[in-house]
Amino acid sequence: MGLQKDFLWGGATAANQFEGAYLEDGKGLSLVDKLPAGKERHLPLFEPQKHLNDEFSFYPSHESIDFYHRYKEDIALFAEMGFKVFRMSISWPRIFPNGDETEPNEAGLKFYDDVFDELKKYNIEPLVTLNHFDTPLHLVETIGGWRSREIVDHYVRYSKVVLERYKDKVKYWLTHNEINMVAHIPLIGGGLIIEEHENRNQVIYQAAHHLLVASSMATKVAKEINPEFQIGCMLAAGEVYANTPNPLDVLAALDKNREQYFFIDVQSRGEYPGYAKKTFKDLGVTLEMQDGDLEVLKAHPVDFISFSYYSSRLESADPEENKKKDAGNAFASLKNPYLKASDWGWQIDPVGLRITMNQIYDRYQKPLFIVENGYGAIDELNENGEIIDDYRIDYHRDHIREMINAVDDGVELLGYTSWGCIDLVSAGTGQMKKRYGFIYVDRDDVGNGTLERKKKKSFDWYKQVIASNGENLE
Ligand code: P53
């Protein structure tokens, strides 16, 4: 029992959170380049209709951790840890600065050639997300991001260019990061600015339809370019539990789970699930479709299911009880008395990973890939300048143990990439101090620091986990 020999161990990142060089070599602005850090971030993130064009004092994505200039040093460190796979995204506005050009930006394409070549030197397989919270700002401003049907063509043109360019360098692709995030943080999930008078769900589910059709079209194009490509969807996962055994709570949890699985039901099975009709009716949503949309969804489902897992969630049927939900997170949840939480209130539930994996696998029977899991925490250097991050080691150890238990339960699993294997900018808060890495980066929340890289204690720990293929977790 245990993991297969060619199990893909590695780490995960996203262009907008670690590349920096936000205007270099012809890159255009991404909507993320308008987001500040810390307390101010929720303003444009959750109320873009009021605040997207506010002037803020600091934008963390502009320099980020400067992977753009330091990729050789960083990839050497990943190789030293023994990575078999490295998850990254391509910055869409680096390739099409405004999103609606017909010709791509060669300098942007060249950068990713260089990165893939560097990974190849160490036999590290790239796992590439085409769209990770990175809609070109111009498309947000001119056509409303994913609310407009027109974006499907722009996305497919962009995808075709990169799939063609890297057809011999990349095998594993994800069409959209955390597709269900469009319903939770519509700005980063779909480049959506929703006005107060609008039916929010109408905008979100129409955008979701565009994301889904675009994903299938990109899958079609991908298979035409290289039939060996493996294309995955990506879900922000985390099983929703019922608050009590009251059947009404169980039903409420079922509904909450469906809110997430809805997207993957379409991407994996190729059709809208049976419950969609009622959901749309209840929410007052009428989808506009074009001829051939349902056929394209049906004909081009994904090959594997990837997901992020940080936490499970807890749901009640009682509106009074639900008022106690922790609202600060993208996924509001009740407090589970059996779990501890991180400093950011994310509840730690390793067994929840095993449950989630079994649920997803039972639902789709396709190989899974854990493409994000990790512990955002404040790291401090001790008097010797070391970072002894035992809390992070504990988090990963407990989750990897349960991941292996799920594989022993019978779940097919391709790999595991820890989120933010090198410290990077938080998507939710824009902070640097919410660190996930095995590699420390000297940079703070307002842009001070040398950007120097330093191994944490967890670096050697993860190295040994990979070397033993998950057998030595101590
Ligand atoms: P941060 C919320 C809940 C679950 C996953 O998140 C999320 C978010 C967004 O805040 O996003 C994923 O940086 C995402 C990454 C992100 C990571 O989780 O807010 O795919 O881009 O950085 C961790 O702590």
Mean pLDDT for 450-472 is 98
Based on the residue annotation, tell me whether 320 is a catalytic residue of this protein. no
Residues constituting the chain: 474
- Strands 230-237 and 172-174 turn out to be parallel
Query: Which residue from 181, 369, 425 has its CB within 8 A of the most atoms of ligand 1, so it is best to mutate?
Result: 181
Residue 166 tokens, joined: 């890297």
Q: Is the CB of 331 under 6 A from ligand 1?
A: yes
pLDDT digit string, tens, across residues 403-414: 999 999 999 999
pLDDT (mean) for 11-21: 98
Least Cα distance to 302 among 225, 365, 238 occurs for 365
CA–CA distance, 206 with 440 (Å, rounded to integer): 41
pLDDT above 70 coverage of the chain, percent: 99
φ, ψ for residue 463 (rounded to 5)? -55, -45
pLDDT band at 327 (very low <50, low <70, confident <90, very high): low
The token pair that represents 370 in the structure block: 């854990």
- Rounded to the nearest angstrom, the distance between the alpha carbon of 426 and the centre of ligand 1 is 7
| Confidence (pLDDT) at 331 | 82
**Catalytic residue list contains 372:** yes
Residue of 19, 178, 239, 315 marked active site: 178
pLDDT at 311: 96
Q: How do residues 430-460 score in pLDDT, each as one tens digit?
A: 999 999 999 999 999 999 999 999 999 999 9
Stated as kind and residue range, the H or E segment containing 417 is strand 413-419
- Please tell me the distance between residue 241's alpha carbon and the centre of ligand 1 in angstroms: 21
374 Cβ inside 6 Å of ligand 1: no
Least confident segment among 21-25, 325-329, 360-364: 325-329
pLDDT in tens, 77-129: 999 999 999 999 999 999 999 999 999 999 999 999 999 999 999 999 999 99
| CB-based contacts of 440, cutoff 8 Å, min separation 6 | 379, 381, 387, 423, 453, 454, 455, 456
Nearest to residue 212, comparing CAs of 318, 276, 294? 294
Residues 89, 176 contacting (CB under 8 angstroms): no
Q: Does pLDDT of 329 surpass 90? A: no
Question: With a 6 A CB cut-off, is 293 part of the ligand 1 pocket?
Answer: no
Q: How far is CA 128 from CA 73, 87, 173, 449, in A?
A: 20, 6, 5, 29
* pLDDT value of residue 88: 98
Ligand 1 atom nearest to CA at 436: 24
Å from CA of 14 to ligand 1 middle: 10
pLDDT grade, residue 326 (50/70/90)?
confident
Distance CA 269, CA 286 (A): 22
Name the residue of 260, 329, 419, 425 whose CB sits within 8 Å of the most ligand 1 atoms, as the mutation to test its pocket. Answer: 419
Ligand 1 center to residue 329 CA distance, Å? Answer: 10
236 CA to middle of ligand 1, Å? 8
pLDDT value for 328: 59
Ligand 1 site, residue 14, Cβ cutoff 6 A:
yes
Q: Do residues 444 and 465 touch, judged by C-beta distance below 8 A?
A: no
pTM comes to: 0.98
- From the list 149, 158, 240, the residue with the least C-alpha distance to 190 is 149
- Tens-place pLDDT, residues 34-93: 999 999 999 999 999 999 999 999 999 999 999 999 999 999 999 999 999 999 999 999
Quote the pLDDT of residue 1.
Answer: 80
